[in-house]
Amino acid sequence: MLIATGLALLILLFFILALVLMTPRIRRGQRVTLRPLRAYTAAHQAIARTAEQGRTTHLSTGPGALAGDTPRTAETLAGLEVMHQMARRAAATGTPLLATTGSGLAFPMAENVVRAGYAEVGRLDEVPLVGGASTAAQAVTLEGRAQGVRMLTHHDPMAYAAAAGALAENEGVSNGVLVGGWSAEYLLVNEAQARAGVHAVAGSADPQGLATQLLTADQTLIGEEIYTAGAYLDARPAHQASLIAQDTVRVLLILLIVVGALLATAGINLAPLLGVSR
C-alpha cells in the first residue's frame, strides 16, 4: 500500500515539476504545439462567419447551475470561460452576440464575462447587456436581431432547451457555441437549430449530453476538452503548460499499464509488491 501511495505521489510531483518548468519557457516565447481540437477551430470560424453574415452568434453555458451540491457546476464554469473568450472575439469583430444561461447564479457571471471580453478590446461602451444604460440601442442589431445576455429559465433544463431553441429559430442566430452543463435536453435545442440552419459547436462532460451532441452537433468538445479554452482560445502560458504536463503524465500512465499487462501476461505478480490484495 505504501508503494502504491508513493507511486501516486511521484506522478503528482512529476506533473507539478513539468508545470513549473514549462510555464516560464512558454512565457519567454517557446513555441507550443497542442493536439488539434476541431471544435475550437470551428468556434473561431463561427465568429468570422457570423460577422460576414451580419447575424447573431448564440453563446450558451447550458442549463447547469452554480451550486456546491450540483454535478454541473464545473461544466458551467468551463462554459463561462468559453463565453468570455468568444465574447472577446465578437467584440473585436463587431459581431452581434446573444449569451444565455439557465441559472440565476450563472446569469450575473455571464454578464461579467461578456463585459470583460468587450473591455479587453477597448469596446466596453458597446457591450450588449440587456437592462444596461443603453438597452434601447443595444438590445437589437441593425437587422432587428436580438442580442444581449439573458437568463432564460432557472433550474429547468427542458424549459431552457426549449427557450434556446426558440431563440435559434426566431432571433436570426446563424452560429451557436453551446458549452457547459448540458445533458440529454441538448437534443431539444439542436432540433430547433437544425431547422434554422444554425452551425453548432457543443460541449459537455455529461455522458447523456455527449451522446446527443456527438450525433447532432457539427463539432463537439468531449469531456475534459471543455476545460481547455484558456489554452486553445487565449493561448495562456500556464494553461498550455498544464495541458502539456497532463499529456505527459497520461503517456507515462499508459506505459505503466502496458508494462504491467506484459508482466502479468508473463506470470509475474506485482500485487504483493504494490500492496494490493486480491
Helix (H) or strand (E) holding 212: helix 207-216
pLDDT of residue 142: 42
Report the mean per-residue pLDDT for the chain.
84
Confidence of residue 154 (pLDDT cuts 50, 70, 90): confident
pLDDT over 80 at 233, yes or no? yes
Q: What is the CA radius of gyration of the chain?
A: 22
The DSSP bridge partners found for residue 173 are: 56
Query: Does residue 152 contact residue 180 with C-beta atoms inside 8 Å?
Result: no
For residue 162, which of 149, 150, 153, 175 has the smallest C-alpha distance? 153
Residue position matching grid coordinates 514549462? 22
Confidence of residue 133 (pLDDT cuts 50, 70, 90): very low
Of 18 and 3, the structure prediction assigns the larger pLDDT to 18
Cell numbers describing residue 149: 445576455
Per DSSP, 148 falls in state E
pLDDT over 80 at 8, yes or no? no
pLDDT of residue 274: 57
Confidence of residue 206 (pLDDT cuts 50, 70, 90): very high
pTM of the prediction?
0.82
For residue 95, which of 35, 174, 155, 25 has the smallest C-alpha distance? 174
Cα(42)–Cα(197) distance, rounded to whole angstroms? 15
Compute φ and ψ for 156, nearest 5 degrees. -140, 85
Of 134 and 105, the structure prediction assigns the larger pLDDT to 105
pLDDT of residue 110: 94
Cα(28)–Cα(125) distance, rounded to whole angstroms? 34
pLDDT of residue 134: 41
Residue 200, CB-side half-sphere exposure with 13 Å CA sphere: 27
pLDDT of residue 60: 95
> What mean pLDDT is predicted for residues 107-135?
81
Query: Does residue 97 contact residue 56 with C-beta atoms inside 8 Å?
Result: yes
Residue position matching grid coordinates 499487462? 261
> What mean pLDDT is predicted for residues 153-174?
89
The full 3-state SS of 13-44, as one line of letters, equals HHHHHHHHHHHHHHHCCCCCCCCCCHHHHHHH
Of 14 and 57, the structure prediction assigns the larger pLDDT to 57
Q: What is the pLDDT of residues 12-30, one digit of tens each?
A: 888 888 888 888 888 888 8
> What mean pLDDT is predicted for residues 193-205?
93
Q: What is the pLDDT of residues 64-87, one digit of tens each?
A: 888 765 668 889 999 999 999 999
Q: Is the dihedral of CA 43, 49, 51, 57 positive or negative?
A: negative
Q: Is the dihedral of CA 258, 259, 262, 268 positive or negative?
A: negative
